[in-house]
Each structure stands twice: as structure tokens, then as C-alpha cells.
Amino acid sequence: MNLTQRPRRLRTDGVRPLVRETELTASDLIAPVFVDATTDERVPIETMPGHERVPVGEAVERVEEVLETGVEAVMLFGVPESKDERGSRAWAEDGVVQEATRRITSETDAYVITDVCLCEYTDHGHCGVLEDDAAENPRLTVRNDETLDLLGKIAASHAAAGADMVAPSGMIDGMVGAIREALDAQGDTDVPVMSYAAKYESAFYGPFRDAADGAPAFGDRRHYQMDPANAREASREVDLDVEQGADVLMVKPALPYLDIVKEIRESYDHPVAAYNVSGEYAMLHAAAEKGWLDLEAVAYESLLSIKRAGADLILTYFAEDLADELYSNN
């Protein structure tokens, strides 16, 4: 044999790291933090091992724990003390996310991103104002345009509390434009919008709905979240969000939709984020508990694949565990 091409030459220990194409660092990661206004102590999330809901009084301490691992950014999700049909606690000045944001931004150096949605705040668990017959005979389930005003109020209240970035996740048509208008109207022109631009109606969200107490009381979210079968539609959704002023484009979930991450990365100059969601986290934990997989190894490989597909930012429940290891090795 006369092999002129031997790729294994570049796999020896000395050169292997020099020719590595993709690097994963702690600064690529965003850690979700759940703040619960209904409790005075930390509450473990059974379906997401290692994660807890924390009371508002411990929000700063919780974020400091994240920062110690080398992660620099957090995403805040809130569980309010009460819910109603329109989710009015979502934009209250003394709301759970607003109060946690004020404390965290004043006492830490964390970059604070806030989730802008209504599902955790409505008594029906849907992401907006309902159609009159949504429970019995839904056509679109959520009234689109009436919901836009509420999303603008939520984003504006988060920015007023000190949020560094807002992240609308409801997949409501026009949400980025409505939020950009609301932010600019109150002078928050420098607060960026990270849109969940391509969010699919996925079966991988189950554990999160336990964590944030945001499961629909009836039906599902097929009328406003994307069909998992569709890829071209994602490009259309992203186009619209870019036109409306989105600063960062997110794909959710991440692993089953790496093709979408890659397509958006190749088609747009904007930073691309991907959400490594609760179900992706839970299934690896479950396999590791059975002894079938090495948890740290498969978690790292999963996040590396998301980064390789083109994501600049990764929102993940593995952030702290992996970042601590990445940080200590640098």
C-alpha cells in the first residue's frame, strides 16, 4: 500500500488539540435559573436532577453559585405567587422575575436574560390571551394580536428592573416588533432581544413544565409552536424576526433540530443560540443513572455538537457542571 493521505497523522496527542475545529468554553453557556415566589426554601425539581426552584430571597446566592463555575450569563424563569386568565403578574412591578432581576443585577456581575412569556403566569397555562372557545373548539387557541400588547408590557417591565436582555418564547406572530417598540418607547433602546425564532412543539419540554409550573391546563400548543416536520418554515420565521429587530436568534430544542441551527448559522449574520432543553437533559441523566452512559462525557459531546452545528450560545441545564470542568482545564 502507498497511502499518501493518512488523516490519523493529525490525531496524535500533540497535534490533536491544535487542529480541533470546534471549541466549547464556559462563556458559550447560559444557565437557567428558576425563581419561585411561592416558597421560602429551595425546592428540588424531581424531573431535572441537580436543579431547584429557589425563593426570591436566595436568587442572588443561586446566581453566585453559577458564576463560580465560570458561566457568565443566566436566564431567569419565574413562578408567580398567583395566576389569572391574562397572566397579569408577568408584568407587575413587584413580580417574581422583576424583583429577582433587581437583586441580581445590583449584587452580581451576571449577565441577566429574562424569559418573556405568559405560560407560567396564566391559570390555563397557555402563552397568551385565549380564544373564547379555546378549550372546546380551538382554531388558534391564543389570540395573537391581543397577546402582543401583554408581551410588550412584560419585556418593558423586565428592562425597567435591570434585565440585560429579554427573550420572548411564545412564538406569537409579531412578538419581536411589539417588544422592540415597547422597549424603545421607554428609552431602553440598548436592551437586545433574543427571540425564540424557531421554537417547535416538542415532546422534549416535559420536565421544564414541571419546573416552571407552566403546563397547559388543556390541549396543546400546536397552533402557535412549529410543526417538528417543518424546516423551510423555520427560515420564514427567522426572516420575520430579523425584519422586526431581533438581535439574537434561538432554536429550541437543540439536538433534534441541529439541521435548523446549521441552516440559520449559514443564512444569517446574527448570533445564533440553541436551547438544550429539559428533556434532553433528563434523558441523559436517566441513562447515566442506569449505568448505561457516562453523564459528563455524553453531556459534553452533546453541547459540542450544538456548537459545531453553528450555535454561538447554548442555554443548557448542564451549564454549571460542564463549565466548572471546562473552566478548571483552562
Condensed to tens digits (0 to 9), the pLDDT of residues 225-263 reads 999 999 999 999 999 999 999 999 999 999 999 999 999
Q: Is 119 annotated as a binding residue?
A: yes
Specify the range with the lowest mean pLDDT, choosing from 92-96, 173-177, 198-202, 223-227: 223-227
Residue 16 has pLDDT above 90, yes or no: yes
270: left (phi over 0), alpha (psi -120 to 50) or beta: beta
**pTM for this one?**
0.94
**Does residue 99 sit within a domain?**
yes
- Other Cβ atoms within 10 Å of 21 Cβ, number: 5
Residue 323 has pLDDT above 80, yes or no: yes
**Does residue 249 sit within a domain?**
yes
**Does residue 12 sit within a domain?**
no
Amino acid at 208: F
Q: Is 8 annotated as a binding residue?
A: no
Q: Is 237 annotated as a binding residue?
A: yes
Average pLDDT over residues 49-73: 96
pLDDT class of 326 with cuts at 50, 70, 90: confident
pLDDT at 94: 96
How far apart CA 152 and CA 202 sit, in angstroms, is: 25
Q: Is 106 annotated as a binding residue?
A: no
How far apart CA 277 and CA 275 sit, in angstroms, is: 5
Amino acid at 201: E
pLDDT at 131: 86
Average pLDDT over residues 45-72: 95
Task: Single out the catalytic residue among 252, 262, 290, 307.
Answer: 252
How far apart CA 2 and CA 89 sit, in angstroms, is: 72
Average pLDDT over residues 183-201: 97
Q: Give the rounded distance of the alpha carbon of 201 from its chain centre.
A: 14
Domain with residue 242: its CATH number is 3.20.20.70
Q: Is 199 considered catalytic here?
A: yes
Expressed as residue numbers, the domain containing 232 is 22-328
Average pLDDT over residues 189-195: 98
**Does residue 165 sit within a domain?**
yes
**Does residue 2 sit within a domain?**
no
Average pLDDT over residues 282-291: 96
* Average pLDDT taken over every residue of the chain: 93
- Other Cβ atoms within 10 Å of 133 Cβ, number: 10
**Does residue 6 sit within a domain?**
no
Q: Is 180 annotated as a binding residue?
A: no
Q: Is 83 considered catalytic here?
A: no
Q: Give the rounded distance of the alpha carbon of 45 from its chain centre.
A: 17
**Does residue 5 sit within a domain?**
no
Number of folded domains that form the chain: 1
**Does residue 281 sit within a domain?**
yes
Condensed to tens digits (0 to 9), the pLDDT of residues 138-188 reads 878 899 999 999 999 999 999 999 999 999 999 999 999 999 999 999 999
43 close to 36: Cβ distance less than 8 angstroms: yes
pLDDT at 215: 72
DSSP annotation of 85: T
Q: Is 328 annotated as a binding residue?
A: no
Average pLDDT over residues 93-116: 98
